[in-house]
Structure 1
Amino acid sequence: MTADRHAIVLAGATSAAGLAVTRALVEAGARVVATGRSTDRLAALADAGAEVVVADATSLAAMTDLAARLGQVDGVIPLVGGWRGGGGLAGQSDKDFDALLPALQAVRATSRAFDRALQASDAGRFAIVSSTAVARPLAGGANYAAVKAASEAWARAVAHGFEKTARDTGEPLRAASVIFRAKALEPEALADAVVALWESDTADLNDRVIEL
């Protein structure tokens, strides 16, 4: 099994990581649909071979509308990110926390909107990008680690939902939820790991943390 001919949504993909993942998936033969809020910033993804859609990855309504329009979807990867920190625990401001929340909101919105499509796929994949800060949170990065930890908890709940559906219906497990963890994200390493999601057995992948 490979990414060839699979339809994969990269939500909030207007970053160096989004561009690297797009290029790798297109080269592997996948149909890539990349979303972002800026037409200008989506241009590089279109040049790389993606179908681009102006849409807010943190909006359940926008992602649900996209899911309805696309139909078949075999992979969803929310790539909304960012980092704010420093100043010790006292420096963990509400403003910084609010600025980090869109990453969690994108995980929630995309997983809910595309849940049915991923479970209908013969190889559905949902993957998030997290951080090693979850395993060792520091005072100066408490806001960031907390948001990443919440995102991981949500992704693990998605994995449980996939398992429960398979168990309740008596069908094989066909969808997997995966967590990528990185200390300092390298776009090319993420791209290779994403392509490899369709080269592994679904049961081996579901609820797995993969260190990058």
Structure 2
Amino acid sequence: MSAGRPLNVVVTGGSGPSGIATARALREAGHTVFTVGSDGPRIGAAAAEAGDGVVPLPCDLASLPDVRALHATISGRAGRVDGVIHLVGGWRGASGITDQTDEDWDFLERGAITTLRNVTRVFYDDLAASDTGRFAMVTSTAVATPTAAGASYVAAKAAAEAWTLAVAEGFSTESRSGSGEQHGAAVIFVVRGLVDPGMRAKSPGRSFPGYTDVADLAAAAVGLFTAPAAELNGQRLLLSR
């Protein structure tokens, strides 16, 4: 758990409502927050909306060299990174199995799998060395009940989950070979869907049953840094109502 010092936390996929809410909540909790998106002006606007002190950084997370450059930038400004909240996502669907397109698969593989692989490979050593290293990703309840229409989406999410569980095992191995105390944790937030104030405003008559408000996702992300790593590591945490 945090020793009281401000932690350095990276929010990837920070341009959307979930990224803005999470960056805001982490900053309000006293952490130093770097929010990352592929479009410079958009991530700049998102950081400004999240609040004073949130640092925007543009990066193509699907490019390993770019992620390494991102790490170098953050390390030069703040030192070691203590947490990564990975919110990169996207949806593509079809009517069934036969019309799952290669273009949709490439989009989902790039967004759901490649970005996560790059970020964890580059930031893993920082998280493993931190007294409060945390990595979190968001997945869908659909992974447990895949449909033909969502085959590409759930397959990509399932792969991302498997990689994250491998990261968790890496943290466990680090603790066994070191002091024996668990410091790092990788977790999976499970949601049916996410809802934000903009969505509610556009559909005032809709109740969004089972959806998780982005504010609740943000609160769960903040809570990772005060919960024991040994209790968190490798867990799939259901946030859907």
Residue deviations 1:7-36, cap 9 Å, x none?
101122111110110111111111100111
Which residue matches 2:178?
A: 169
**Aligned partner (choices 206, 209, 222) of residue 195 of structure 1:** 222
Which residue matches 2:96?
A: 88
Which deviates the most, 16-25 or 45-54?
45-54
- Secondary structure at the aligned position of 2:93 is classed as coil
- Secondary structure at the aligned position of 1:198 is classed as coil
Residue deviations 1:127-182, cap 9 Å, x none?
01111111110110000000000000000000011111111224421100000110
With normalisation by structure 2, the TM-score equals 0.84
The RMSD of aligned alpha carbons is 1.5
| Residue segments in structure 1 that go unaligned for 5+ positions in a row | none
Bigger radius of gyration among the two: 2
Which amino acid in structure 2 is aligned with residue 41 of structure 1?
R
| Residue segments in structure 2 that go unaligned for 5+ positions in a row | 195-212
Which amino acid in structure 2 is aligned with residue 107 of structure 1?
L
Corresponding position: 1:60 with 2:59:
no
- Secondary structure at the aligned position of 1:139 is classed as coil
Which amino acid in structure 1 is aligned with residue 234 of structure 2?
D
Percent identity over the alignment is 42
Paired residues, number: 212
Higher fraction of helix = 1
Distance (Å, rounded) in 2 between the aligned partners of 1:4 and 1:184: 33
Corresponding position: 1:18 with 2:45:
no
Distance (Å, rounded) in 2 between the aligned partners of 1:37 and 1:175: 27
Closer/same/farther in 2, CA of residues 4 and 82 from structure 1, 3 Å limit: farther
